[in-house]
């Protein structure tokens, strides 16, 4: 049986993690390596300043004092008896849509797997949705990935709507409109502190986006690529290189005078 690594950012005790592990059990030998406590919104953080230690919680099930990306590194780079053929991250409790994927520990685990050359899916369930619906979607997408593979340096970000899904739709990532304000409060000693991330997110045009698909009751599947280069801009800004070089040289000569 091929080996499948399951991780998350909600922690080893999250219901979504157990559901995802169970959903993929018929596709391979599932190993779970997940953070010992919740790491939501930790992004792509790696633990480099202290050792990480997997603690066995059950058969092929380990808790780690680290981040989702730590768990993927352990799983892919030698802790498991053989490298996994798939890394599945989730099922996150709450959506990971559009620009918010950059904060997401769930999606970052998939990014880490992709960078390490292992196909990966990240699965998130919007608040109020059914884990059974998310499990069914995750199993179908995972099976497809195992059979058909993925384009290079590309992961699939899957979000499941809060109602029973009408279908599955490929979608681009939407853009969030940053209308959030920070909320200032004072502590009993009169010092200010601030809450980030208050307020409902507002989204730009929904057409063709993951947010739009969710809005219409579909599971969204967004291929996310890890080449962050803006290739058009490399060409468009090409003359900046010689121009800045000349200025840099001029500044050096003035400094030496």
Closer by beta carbon to Mg ion, 100 or else 133: 100
Give the DSSP per-residue string, 11-62.
-TT-HHHHHHHHHTTTTSEEEEEEESS--TT-TT----SS---EEEEETTEE
Contact residues toward Mg ion (CB under 5 A) are 9-10, 40, 92
Q: Supply the minimum distance, in Å, between the C-beta of residue 69 and Mg ion.
A: 14
Q: Supply the minimum distance, in Å, between the C-beta of residue 92 and Mg ion.
A: 4
Contact call for residues 213 and 169 (beta carbons, < 8 A): yes
State which residue has the least CB distance to Mg ion.
40
Handedness of CA 22, 28, 31, 32 (dihedral sign): negative
Closer by beta carbon to Mg ion, 37 or else 181: 37
Q: Supply the minimum distance, in Å, between the C-beta of residue 238 and Mg ion.
A: 41
Closer by beta carbon to Mg ion, 42 or else 86: 42
Q: Supply the minimum distance, in Å, between the C-beta of residue 228 and Mg ion.
A: 23
Read off the DSSP letter of residue 230: -
Closer by beta carbon to Mg ion, 39 or else 73: 39
Handedness of CA 134, 137, 141, 146 (dihedral sign): positive
């Amino acid at each position: 049986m091929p080996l499948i690594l399951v991780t998350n950012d909600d922690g080893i005790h999250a219901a979504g993690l157990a559901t995802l592990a169970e959903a993929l059990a018929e596709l391979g030998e599932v190993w779970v390596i997940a953070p010992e406590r919740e790491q939501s919104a930790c992004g792509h953080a790696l633990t480099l300043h202290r050792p990480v230690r997997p603690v066995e919680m059950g058969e092929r099930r380990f808790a780690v004092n680290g981040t989702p990306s730590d768990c993927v590194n352990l799983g892919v780079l030698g802790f498991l008896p053989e490298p996994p053929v798939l890394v599945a991250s989730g099922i996150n409790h709450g959506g990971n849509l559009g620009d918010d994927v950059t904060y997401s520990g769930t999606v970052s685990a998939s990014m880490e797997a992709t960078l390490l050359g292992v196909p990966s899916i990240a699965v998130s369930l919007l608040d109020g949705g059914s884990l059974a619906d998310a499990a069914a979607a995750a199993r179908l997408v995972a099976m497809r990935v195992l059979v058909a593979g993925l384009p290079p340096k590309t992961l699939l970000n899957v979000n499941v709507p809060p109602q029973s899904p009408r279908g599955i739709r490929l979608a681009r990532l939407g853009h969030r409109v940053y209308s959030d304000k920070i909320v200032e409060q004072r502590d009993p000693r009169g010092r200010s502190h601030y809450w980030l991330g208050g307020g409902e997110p507002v989204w730009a045009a929904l057409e063709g986006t993951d947010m739009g698909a969710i809005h219409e009751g579909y599971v969204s599947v967004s291929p996310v690529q890890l080449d962050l280069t803006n290739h058009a801009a490399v060409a468009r800004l090409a003359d900046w290189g010689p121009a800045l070089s000349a200025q840099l040289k001029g500044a050096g000569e003035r400094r030496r005078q």
